[in-house]
Amino acid sequence: MRFVDIIEKKKQKKSLSKEEIKIWIQGLVEGSIPDYQSSALLMAIVLNGMTQEETTNLAEAMVLSGEQIDLSNISGVKVDKHSTGGVGDKTTLVLGPLVASCGLKVAKMSGRGLGHTGGTLDKLESIPGFDCFLTTENFVRQVEKIGIALVGQTADLVPADKKLYALRDVTATVESIPLIASSIMSKKLAFGSDTILLDVKFGEGAFMKTIEEGKELASSMIKIGKSLGRDTRAILTEMDQPLGNTIGNALEVIEAIETLQGKGPEDFTELCIASAELILLQGKIVSTKEEAREMLWKKIDSGEAFEKFCEVVREQKGDVQALHDISLFPQAKNRTELKSQKTGYVVKIHSQNLGFLSMEIGAGREKKEDDINPAVGLKLHKKYGDFVEVGESLCAIYHDNPLEENWKTRLLESFEIQEGKPKKKNMIEAIIE
C-alpha cells in the first residue's frame, strides 16, 4: 500500500486500520515516510478526528516504537500520575512522597518546562546538587529501596512521540484530542506502572479550553489505559488561576515542602489530597476515600511524608539541608511588590500571562536550549475571591534584573479586580473513573 492512500483515506473521513497505523509509526521512526507525508496525515487527523479504536491503536503503535521500562521486578503496586500541565503545578513534588510514604511505589519520569508551563525536572534541579538522571538500573533499584524515584525522560522512550510532537508543533496540529491522548498515554504506557492517575486541566492556559473538551480528553485517555490493562482514572481541574501561590522553580519547591508539612496553600493542598486519595484507592491499600484521607493526613502530620521527600533528595544527591533551611536555595537578587491600583475582589488571574511573564524574567525557557534561573518567579498574595485595597500587594516578584515598565503593566493587568465578591468555585470539577 502506498502511504499516500492512507492519507487519502483519512482525508475521506474513513477509519485507519491497526495495520495502517503501525505502518505509519514504523515508517515515521525509521525515516522511510517523509515528514511532509506525516504532516499531511496529522492535519487530516486534526480535521477529521479518529475513532477511539484508532486512538488506542495509535497509542499502542507509539509505545512499540521504542524502549519500554520493565518495573515488574519491583515489589508492590507501582503508581504513576500525569498532569496535562498548568502554571504553578508542583503536584508531583508533593503527591509522589506522600503516596510513597503510604507504601505505594512511585516510579516517576517527568519533563522540563517549555513556554508558559513549568516542568518538574527544572523544579527539582533548583535543589542544590539534585540529580534527575539515573540509569534505568539505578532508577529501578531506588524505587525498590525507598519507594520512589523522580527522574527525567530517557531518550529511547517513545521516539515516535518525539518526532510527531516536533512536527505537530510547526504544522498547527497540536490541538487534537486523539493526538494529545495518544501522545500522553504512549509515554505513560511505555513506563510499566500498574496504575495511572491523570490530572486533566481545562480553562484558560490549558490545552482544553472547556470542561466538555477536558472530559472528552480524559475519557479517551482512560479508555486507552484500560484497554491496555492499566487502572486509569482522571481528575478534572479548572485552571483559571495558578495552582498554589508560587510560580518559579525554587519558590515552588519551597511551597511543596510547606505542603508536605501541612502548611501549604488551601487549593494546592486540596488537589494533592484528592489526587492522593484516588491513587491510594487505585493501589488498593484503602477501600474508601475517607480511609485514604485519614491515612494521608497522618503521614503529613507525623512528618513521614516530608521525610520521604528528604529521602528522595538524599538518594539523588541533593542537599537535604536545604529542605530544612530554605535560605540554602538559590536566592533572587531583588524582591519587588506589585501594588494594586484598585480596591475590590480578585475575580480572575490570567495564569497563562503569569506563566509567560515569569518565563520572561528567567523562570522558564522560550526555546529548548535556553537556560533558566531557579531563583526567580512570583509569589501571589491575593487569589480568586480575595479582597484587595489600593496599595496592597497583589504579589511579590523575585527577580535578578531590573523590571521593565511594560512588564509590570502586563503583570498588573493579569489580575482582574471588581467590586462584587465572586461566587466560590470548586477547582476539582469532576472525577472520572
Could you tell me if 227 and 60 are in contact, meaning their C-beta atoms sit under 8 angstroms apart?
no
Q: Which cell goes with 74?
A: 519491583
One-letter amino acid at 308 equals K
Please report how close the Cβ of residue 179 comes to ligand URA at its closest, in angstroms.
6
Q: Which of 161, 194, 231, 240 is catalytic?
A: 161
Q: How far is the CB of 183 from ligand URA (least distance, A)?
A: 3
Residue 180 as a binder of ligand URA (CB under 6 A): the answer is: yes
Cell of 314: 538524599
161 given a catalytic annotation:
yes
Q: Where are the beta strands (DSSP E) in 289-411?
A: 334-339, 344-349, 377-380, 387-388, 393-399
User: By beta-carbon distance, which residue lies closest to ligand URA?
Assistant: 183
Distances (CA, A) of 129 to 69, 133, 315: 26, 12, 11
Three cell numbers, residue 235: 481528575
109 binds ligand URA (CB under 6 A): no
Q: Which of 9, 82, 188, 223 is catalytic?
A: 82
User: Cβ neighbours of residue 14 under 8 Å, at least 6 residues apart?
Assistant: none
How many amino acids of this chain bind ligand URA (CB under 6 A)?
5
Residue 183 catalytic? Answer: yes
Applying CB under 6 A, which part among 44-52, 99-107, 133-141, 177-185 lies near ligand URA?
A: 177-185
Active-site residue, 187 included: yes
Nearest CA to 103 out of 74, 62, 65, 68 is that of 74
Least distance from ligand URA to the Cβ atom of residue 184, Å: 5
DSSP conformation class of 158: -
Select which of 168, 223, 379, 399 is catalytic. 168
Shortest distance (Å) from residue 331 CB to ligand URA: 32
Percentages of the chain per state (helix, strand, coil), in multiples of 5: 45, 20, 35
Residue 92 is a binding residue for ligand URA (CB under 6 A) = no
Cell representation of residue 233: 482514572
Number of H helices, E strands in the chain: 17, 13
Among 93, 184, 198, 378, binds ligand URA (CB under 6 A): 184
228 φ/ψ angles, rounded to the nearest 5 degrees? -105, 25
Residue numbers 206-225 binding ligand URA by CB under 6 A: 207
Q: Find the part of the chain contacting ligand URA (CB under 6 A) among 16-24, 34-42, 134-142, 175-183.
A: 175-183
Binding site for ligand URA (CB under 6 A): 179-180, 183-184, 207
Catalytic residue numbers read 82, 161, 168, 183, 187
